[in-house]
Amino acid sequence: MEHVERVERITMAHGAGGTVMSELVKRYILKHLGGSNAEVPLEALDDAAVVNGIVLKSDSHVVKPLFFPGGDIGKLAVTGTVNDIAVLGAEPCALTSGFILEEGLLVADFEKIVQSMSETCREAGVYVVTGDTKVVEKGSLEGCVINTSGIGRRNQALERNIVEVKKHRRFDARWLLDSSLRPGDKIVLSGTVGDHGLAVLSSREGYSFGSQITSDIAPLNKVILRLLEVGGIVAMKDPTRGGLSNALNEWSEKSKVGILVEEEKIPIREDVRAACEMLGIDPLEVGNEGKIIIGVVPQMAEEVLVTLKHTREGKNAQIIGEVTDQFKAVALQTIVGGKRVLTPPIGDPVPRIC
Ligand code: MG
C-alpha cells in the first residue's frame, strides 16, 4: 500500500515550510542532530536557538528571481536572520554571510546585492563580521544563494517585558517562545499578509494584477524593541514560509492550546486578495517577510496594538484573535458566519520566495 509520506527523493514541498517540511525535519534532522542541552535546543524548532545565553540563528536564502518588487536576495538575507533573532525577544548583534555564487553571475548584480545587504544592516543596526565565498559551475543554481547566520543577546527591554507579563499571569520562560501561549492571551498581527509571496511570484512569472504588488520585506528588530518596552508580550513569530496559517498552527501545537481567529480582522491588501483569488491561492498560506504575530496578555493587548500602529511597519496592525482552552486547533471565525478549522498548509503555495 502506498503511503504519501514515504518520499524517497527531495521534492519542492520539503522546503516549503508546511507539514511536509516539518515531517522531514522531525524524521531526519532532529533524529540525527538533536540531543543538545541548549537552553532553547534544536528540538524546540523555534525561530532561533539559545545556547550559553546567546541567541543563534542560521538561514539560507534561495529566492527566485534575485531582484523583486520591494527587495532582493541581499535584503532578504539580512532581514530573515535579524527577524528570527528579534522575535525571541533578543537584540541582534552580528551576522555572518556565506555566498554561493554561480559562474556567470554579473559582478554588477553581485555588487547590488551586497550594497542592499549593507543598507539593510544599517537599518537594523548590525554588521556582517565574518563569512565565506564559494563559486559553483554554471547551471548548478540560479545566480546565487546566501546563507546568513547571526547571534543575539538579552537586553533590558526583554527583562522589563517579562516583569510586565508576570504582573498579569504566571510566566516561566526566559525568551518569547512558541510554547508560551495560554488561554486568554490576545493575538496581534502587525499588518497585511501575502504581500511578499505575491510580489515575488508576480515578478517571476510576469503576472500583472493592475497595480504592482510590493514585498513587505523589512527588518523588524527596532519595532520589536519598542513593543517590548510596552510589555506584556509572551510570544512572537514571523509568519514566513507557510504564512499566517502555518505560524498559528505551530503556536497551537507547541503551546497545546486552541487559537480562535476572526477572519474579518486579518488585513489583506485588495490587490493581493484579487491576485490570490485569480491564482487559487490562500493568502493565509503565503509567506511574509516584514510581519510578526504577537501573543500578549489581554491587559496589555490594546497598548501593544496602539504602539504598533504608530510605526511605519505596523500601521495596519490588528488584534486578530485569542488563545482558548475550548479546543486544540486553529479555528477561523469566518466572515459569512460559522467556524472552520485552519489546517497548516502542506507546502507553501508559492515556492522559492525566501
Ligand atoms: Mg521565523
Mean pLDDT throughout 35-56?
Answer: 96
Whether residue 163 is found in the same domain as residue 141? no
Contact 316, 267 (CB under 8 A): yes
Q: What is the pLDDT of residues 96-138, one digit of tens each?
A: 999 999 999 999 999 999 999 999 999 999 999 999 999 999 9
**244 and 126, same structural domain?**
no
* Residue 63 confidence (pLDDT): 95
Q: Is 350 part of a structural domain of the chain?
A: no
Interval between CA 210 and ligand 1 midpoint (Å): 31
- The pLDDT value recorded for residue 207 is 86
Q: Which of 92, 122, 153 finishes a domain? A: 153
Q: Is residue 308 pLDDT above 60, yes or no?
A: yes
Range 64-70 average pLDDT: 96
pLDDT one-digit tens code per residue, 163-184: 999 999 999 999 999 999 999 9
Please give the model's pTM, rounded to 2 decimal places. Answer: 0.95
Average pLDDT over residues 52-78: 97
Q: CB neighbours (10 Å) of residue 215?
A: 25
Interval between CA 329 and ligand 1 midpoint (Å) = 20
In a domain, 15, yes or no: no
pLDDT at position 161 is 98
Distance CA 112, CA 75 (A): 10
Q: Categorize the per-residue pLDDT at 5 as very low, low, confident or very high, splitting at 50, 70 and 90.
A: low
24, part of any domain = no
Q: How far apart are CA 244 and CA 342, in angstroms?
A: 10
Distance CA 16, CA 141 (A): 18
Lowest mean pLDDT among 45-49, 211-215, 259-263, 308-312: 211-215
* CA of 180 relative to ligand 1 center, distance in Å: 16
HSE toward the beta carbon, residue 4, CA cutoff 13 A? 6
Residue 237 CA to ligand 1 center (angstroms) comes to 6
HSE toward the beta carbon, residue 276, CA cutoff 13 A:
21
> For residue 43, is pLDDT > 90?
yes
List, for residues 185-211, the tens digit of each pLDDT value: 999 999 999 999 999 999 998 888 777
Which of 153, 173, 207 is the C-terminal boundary of a domain?
153
Residue 10's pLDDT is 93
State the Cα angle at 25 between 100 and 127, rounded to 5°. Answer: 40
Cα 83 to ligand 1 centroid, rounded to whole Å: 7
The rounded Å distance from CA 5 to ligand 1 centre is: 25
Ligand 1 centroid to residue 144 C-alpha, Å: 22
Q: How far is the CA of 223 from the centre of ligand 1 (A)?
A: 16
Domain that holds residue 113: 45-153
Distances (CA, A) of 292 to 58, 192, 287, 337: 19, 10, 11, 27
What is the distance in A from the centroid of ligand 1 to the CA of 115?
Answer: 24
Q: Where among 109, 125, 153 does a domain terminate?
A: 153
Confidence at residue 126, expressed as pLDDT on a 0 to 100 scale: 98
Domain count, the chain: 2
pLDDT of residue 24: 93
Q: How far is the CA of 107 from the centre of ligand 1 (A)?
A: 31
Residue 247 Cα to ligand 1 midpoint, Å, equals 8
Backbone angles phi, psi at 43, to 5 degrees: -60, -25
Please provide the average confidence, as pLDDT, over all residues in the chain. Answer: 95
- How much distance in Å is there from the Cα of 216 to the middle of ligand 1? 15
Q: Is the four-CA dihedral 111, 117, 121, 127 of positive or negative sign?
A: negative
Give the per-residue pLDDT at 4.
61
Q: How far is the CA of 241 from the centre of ligand 1 (A)?
A: 8
Q: What is the CATH number of the domain that holds 276?
A: 3.90.650.10
Owner of C-alpha cell 496578555 = 297
220-242 mean pLDDT: 97
More confident residue, 280 or 210: 280
- Ligand 1 centre and the CA of 1: distance in Å? 36
**Contact predicate 187/293, CB 8 Å:** yes
Residue 347 and residue 352: Cα distance in Å, rounded? 11
